[in-house]
């Protein structure tokens, strides 16, 4: 009765946050990776009551020293035979450095066993032009990039790390090229970019849906690339229908699913274990294991988020009953609004455990629609546009990132 799992046994060290209630960080990622058959060792960088979407949180950060101590504990009992490191939210620059120390040590250890270590780095720093970590974490993250095999920034984080302002697919492709070239990162995925349907310009996730024609639905775009041996990008994109709600933890969900799916795709493809599961140069972007993996990841996510959206609508029907008992006076209005907001946030928690089947097997309804496409660029591919990295104003940002952190997406 053992279940058929299409992901090979994979030992993952997951360093991210723990929340008691709800699904973000390791609370999201561990369960998903385990459900897909991975052995997960979770070092929790915080223990919080809930995620920050509730705008009020209690709990405690794990110190950098404690993170290193936990790793020491693993080492002294010979428990560090990891295939993958997935690092996510880390609450201080010192803690990012601690994660870097761990990642480098695992990388060094793996040099005797090529291909035995793969680092997925989710540089959780901010969104929509706003940092939600201390400023000194940005250079700390930059100093890790050279060690990472796959990074998963959002648009804002990609701008910070590449020093490239992203306004459309063309500049996004440039940012990816910079990250491949400067930091020698084999794989990059920039998740959920909103592009204006007419102008093709990026939109901040906070703006309203642009005017759409009849039957049109707003889409989100995910763009990825696995570099060639000379670190040229091979770009693919997948467009998915947008759901008009902000769900917390979707980045962690994406990362966890990607670890499992990429591992499975890499195992069945001809990837080079010596250098971060890279594919031969003649593999087209849409045939990359990364592209195949992301197709499945997005299909599973879409299915679970649609279920979540439906369940949320159902739950919100009872919302007005729940707040009705509260006071009616002017001074109570704020309390009622707060209660309403908290109930909405709770209703938007991703419905993970009852929909785990959709994660284990990407539903065909979606996976047939979410096929990776070549990225079409007006001025040719960013590897052909004749500009060198230092002409992009990037090399000066390889250091401490000063000036980059105030970028605002318009």
The rounded distance, in Å, linking the Cα atoms of 178 and 77 is 40
In sequence order, what E strands does 234-349 have? 235-241
Candidates 6, 52, 61, 66; binder of a copy of itself (CB under 8 A) is 66
Residues whose CB is less than 8 angstroms from the CB of residue 299 and which lie 6 or more positions away in sequence, other chains included: 362, 363, 366, 367, 369, 370
The rounded distance, in Å, linking the Cα atoms of 55 and 154 is 21
Q: Does 6 bind a copy of itself (CB under 8 A)?
A: no
Nearest distance, CB of residue 309 and a copy of itself, angstroms: 15
Buried b (16+ CB within 10 A) or exposed e, 309-337: bebbeebeeeeeeebeeeeeeeeeeeebe
Q: Does 358 bind a copy of itself (CB under 8 A)?
A: yes
**Binding marks (x or -) toward a copy of itself, 295..334, rule CB under 8 A?**
--------x---x---------------------------
Q: Does 90 bind a copy of itself (CB under 8 A)?
A: no
Candidates 17, 48, 186, 308; binder of a copy of itself (CB under 8 A) is 48
Taking contact as CB under 8 A, which single stretch among the options 50-58, 180-188, 214-222, 284-292 is the one that binds a copy of itself?
A: 50-58
Q: Does 335 bind a copy of itself (CB under 8 A)?
A: no
Nearest distance, CB of residue 94 and a copy of itself, angstroms: 16
- When the beta carbons of 192 and 300 are compared against a copy of itself, the nearer one is 300
Nearest distance, CB of residue 95 and a copy of itself, angstroms: 14
Taking contact as CB under 8 A, which single stretch among the options 53-61, 227-235, 249-257, 373-381 is the one that binds a copy of itself?
A: 53-61
The rounded distance, in Å, linking the Cα atoms of 50 and 23 is 8
For 275, phi then psi, to 5°, come to -135, 70
Tokens of 248: 């917390």
Q: Does 61 bind a copy of itself (CB under 8 A)?
A: no
CB 398 within 8 A of CB 327: no
Nearest distance, CB of residue 3 and a copy of itself, angstroms: 4
Taking contact as CB under 8 A, which single stretch among the options 31-39, 100-108, 185-193, 256-264 is the one that binds a copy of itself?
A: 31-39
For 241, phi then psi, to 5°, come to -65, 135
Instruction: Tell me how crowded residue 146 is: count the other CB atoms within 10 A of its CB.
Output: 12
The rounded distance, in Å, linking the Cα atoms of 186 and 275 is 8
Tokens of 405: 């952190």
Taking contact as CB under 8 A, which single stretch among the options 46-54, 109-117, 184-192, 370-378 is the one that binds a copy of itself?
A: 46-54
**Contact residues: a copy of itself, CB under 8 A:** 1-3, 5, 9, 18, 20-22, 27, 30-31, 34-35, 37-44, 47-50, 54, 56-60, 62, 66, 69-74, 76-79, 303, 307, 339, 342-343, 345-346, 352-358, 361, 363
């Amino acid at each position: 009765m053992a279940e058929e799992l299409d992901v090979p046994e994979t030992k993952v060290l997951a360093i991210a946050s723990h929340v008691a209630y709800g699904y973000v960080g390791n609370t999201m990622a561990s369960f998903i990776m385990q459900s897909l058959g991975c052995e997960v060792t979770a070092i929790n960088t915080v223990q919080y009551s809930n995620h920050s979407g509730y705008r009020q949180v209690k709990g405690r950060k794990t110190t950098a020293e404690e993170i290193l101590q936990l790793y020491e504990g693993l080492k002294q009992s010979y428990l560090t035979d990891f295939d993958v490191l997935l690092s996510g939210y880390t609450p201080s620059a010192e803690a990012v450095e601690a994660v870097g120390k761990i990642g480098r040590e695992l990388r060094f250890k793996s040099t005797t066993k090529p291909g035995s270590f793969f680092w997925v780095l989710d540089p959780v720093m901010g969104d929509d032009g706003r940092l939600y970590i201390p400023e000194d974490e940005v250079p700390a993250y930059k100093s890790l990039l050279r060690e990472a095999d796959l990074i998963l920034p959002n648009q804002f984080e990609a701008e910070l790390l590449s020093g490239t302002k992203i306004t459309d697919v063309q500049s996004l492709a440039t940012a990816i090229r910079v990250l491949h070239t400067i930091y020698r990162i084999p794989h990059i995925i920039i998740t959920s970019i909103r592009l204006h349907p007419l102008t093709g310009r990026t939109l901040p996730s906070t703006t309203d849906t642009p005017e759409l024609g009849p039957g049109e639905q707003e889409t989100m775009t995910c763009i990825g690339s696995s570099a060639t041996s000379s670190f040229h990008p091979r770009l693919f994109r997948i467009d998915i229908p947008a759901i008009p709600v902000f769900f917390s933890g979707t980045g962690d969900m994406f990362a966890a699913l990607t670890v499992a799916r990429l591992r499975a795709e890499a195992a069945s493809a001809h990837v080079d274990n010596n250098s971060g599961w890279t594919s031969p140069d003649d593999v087209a972007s849409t045939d990359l294991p990364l592209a195949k993996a992301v197709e499945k990841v997005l299909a599973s996510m879409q299915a679970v988020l649609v279920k979540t959206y439906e369940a949320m609508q159902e739950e919100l029907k009872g919302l007005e009953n729940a707040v009705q008992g509260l006071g009616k006076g002017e001074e109570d209005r704020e309390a009622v609004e707060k209660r309403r907001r908290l109930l909405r946030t709770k209703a938007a928690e991703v419905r993970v455990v009852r929909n785990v089947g959709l994660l284990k097997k990407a539903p065909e309804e979606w996976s047939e629609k979410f096929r990776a496409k070549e990225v079409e660029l007006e001025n040719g591919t960013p590897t052909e546009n004749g500009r060198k990295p230092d002409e992009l104003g990037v090399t000066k940002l390889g250091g401490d990132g000063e000036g980059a952190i105030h970028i605002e997406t318009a």
